[in-house]
Amino acid sequence: MPPAFGSSLTSPPPHTDVLAAESGPLSSVEDTINTVFEPISDGFSNLVFGELTLFGVTFPWVVAWLAIAAAVFTVAFGFIQFRSLGLSLALLRGKYSRDDDPGEITHFQALTSAVSATVGLGNIAGVGVAVTVGGAGATFWMIVCGLLGMCTKFVECTLGVKYREIHEDGTVTGGPMQYLRKGIAERFPGAFGAGLGKSLAVIAAIMILFFGIAGGNMFQANQTFAQLRNVTGGDEGWLASDGAALVFGVVLATLIGVVIIGGIKSIGAVTSKLVPAMAIIYVGACLTVIAVNITAVPTAFGEIISGAFTPAAGFGGAIGVLIIGFQRAAFSNEAGLGSSSIAHSAVKTRHPVTEGFVALLEPFVDTVIVCTMTALTIVIAKTEFWTSAQQDVINGGEAPDGVIVTSDAFATVLPWFPYVLTLAVALFAISTIITWGYYGQRAWLFLFGKSKAKEITYNVIFCISTVIGSVLTLTSVLNFADAVLFALALFNIIGLYLLMPVVKRELKSFREKLRTGEVAPVDRSDIT
């Protein structure tokens, strides 16, 4: 997922706490690339994360674009994310699935594959920044935005399955590249619709491919090694040299390569085990802190609610706190970017809208559960570091490193938490690399054509990038990748608006089939 944005109310700062090459030729290469790429990165980032001002508070326009779309879809579909949770969970358990349904993976595997790409460092560090800059009240608006984003996921993932392509070998190609190209051409027959759809699809593919290699791979590899190095002694530890980073990168690339070569079936098999393990480890740690401070829970919830509407002076007022919460949620669950529909498109189903129902659970897991647990832990622990950092921000200072805010909160109960954090970051990063490896591969094959040779070429490039990311920071490249990913929201959401009637027809048709019994529950007790 995108890294932890936002040391201020406005735009994302350069990546921090990443590990640069220490010296010699590698350092020179890194400096040269950063110098050349920096003007491009800065210009594009300023465009994508350009600021709007509302009631004296500035924030990136892309946040408003994502939030407005989520609200529009929620109203248009009658708050379907709240009315259909029971059906979503039934579909997730495989209650309506059959062995001969077309596709590659189960609903559960599709969900865990997509979640593995969004749950990441931002859920740890980004939330720490949000509750420091916006106070406890930012948590409330983060939850609201996450709940609204569930409907955006419903729309884009229904379209992902609706317009997917199932190849002769049984593999599936889906996502914004397919539904923008095929859907818009179908919706608006003629040269205009075909041209618009193809143009939007190519732009989406390029953006997904670039971020997949840089932000979804190189940054994650670098961050994982940085965390591992920190807990093994830092500059004085046994992982202090560039050589250690290279060896780590090769080992990580090998592990990643083994998984992505197997395609979405292999990825689904891994993430269906990895994502629950991540959740148990991280949420378990959160619950431990909450349990030890159980008497502080009512007060913490009171601060979250009151802070959302009547924040303490210095947090930018109620609108400022709302924007911070929405920004964190929008940057967390990727609802509106279309990327996760690539994984969801591979699901075994005959009815596209079924995966829309399952996909809407993704922001609930990512933002409503994981991000909220992080925020609640910080608010309950109320460390001296956090409270003093809030005061610094109010006085005009910079926001602290979000990882430290979160880590300190856990350390109040779990002094050894840095090791748990390292494990969590490693699991989050590896799962992100795996899934974005698949996303990038689908984009690559869309742009260059599907063949075994082209697939192998992409896998080699991706694994080499993992090694490069472990050794070099390439800050300007990574910042550019973040901007590229969120620029995708502009084009993807235009497509979602245009194709909303298609989703409504699919929903109506499925509801009718449920009513008549054409779609009926089956005994699938063997499906998790």
Please report, in tens digits, the pLDDT of each residue of the chain (528 residues total): 444 333 333 334 334 444 445 555 656 666 776 677 677 777 887 888 787 777 666 777 888 888 899 999 999 999 999 999 899 999 998 888 888 888 888 899 888 888 887 776 667 777 887 888 788 888 888 888 889 999 999 999 999 999 999 888 778 889 999 999 999 999 999 899 999 999 999 999 999 998 888 888 888 887 777 777 777 776 666 666 667 778 888 888 898 888 888 878 888 888 888 888 877 888 888 888 888 888 888 888 888 888 888 776 566 666 667 777 777 777 677 888 888 999 899 999 999 999 999 999 998 988 888 888 888 888 888 888 888 888 887 777 777 777 778 888 888 887 777 777 777 778 878 888 888 888 999 999 999 988 889 989 999 999 988 888 877 766 666 677 778 888 888 899 999 999 999 999 999 999 999 888 887 887 645 444
HEC secondary structure over 449-510? CCCHHHHHHHHHHHHHHHHHHHHCCCHHHHHHHHHHHHHHHHHHHHHHHHHHHHHHHHHHHH
Q: Rounded CA gap, 517 and 314, in Å?
A: 57
CA–CA dist 212, 440 (Å, integer): 5
Measured between alpha carbons, how far is 59 from 133 in angstroms, rounded to an integer? 13
Residues 133-159 as b/e (b if ≥16 CB within 10 A, e otherwise) read bbbbbbbbbbbbbbbbbbbbbbbbbbb
- Give me the DSSP letters along 232-284: TTGGGSTT-SHHHHHHHHHHHHHHHHHHHHTHHHHHHHHHHHHHHHHHHHHHH
Contact 23, 242 (CB under 8 A): yes
CA 22 – CA 198 distance, rounded (Å): 44
pLDDT at res. 227: 72
Quick count: other Cβ atoms within 10 Å of Cβ 291? Answer: 10
The pTM for the full model equals 0.84
Task: Provide the pLDDT for residue 73.
Answer: 96
The pLDDT value recorded for residue 7 is 31
Query: What is the maximal distance between C-alpha atoms in the chain?
Result: 71
Pairing between β-strand 57-60 and β-strand 165-166 as defined by DSSP bridges: unpaired
User: What DSSP string describes 100-111?
Assistant: T-SSSB-HHHHH
* 208 in Cβ contact with 339 (< 8 Å): yes
Question: Residues 6 or more apart from 108 whose CB is under 8 A from it?
Answer: 92, 93, 94, 272, 527, 528
* Contact by Cβ (8 Å): 498, 158: no
d(Cα 334, Cα 332) in Å, to the nearest integer? 6
What's residue 319's pLDDT? Answer: 66
The tokens of 475 are what?
């800050």
How many angstroms separate the CA atoms of 528 and 525, rounded?
Answer: 7
State the CB neighbour count (10 A cutoff) for residue 511.
14
Side chain identity, residue 131: V
Q: How far is the C-alpha of 127 from the C-alpha of 377, rounded, in Å?
A: 11
pLDDT score for 497: 95
Return the closest-CA partner of residue 128 out of 4, 18, 224.
Answer: 4
Task: Please name the residue that has the structure tokens 């620029």.
Answer: 487
CA 433, 435, 440, 445 dihedral sign is positive
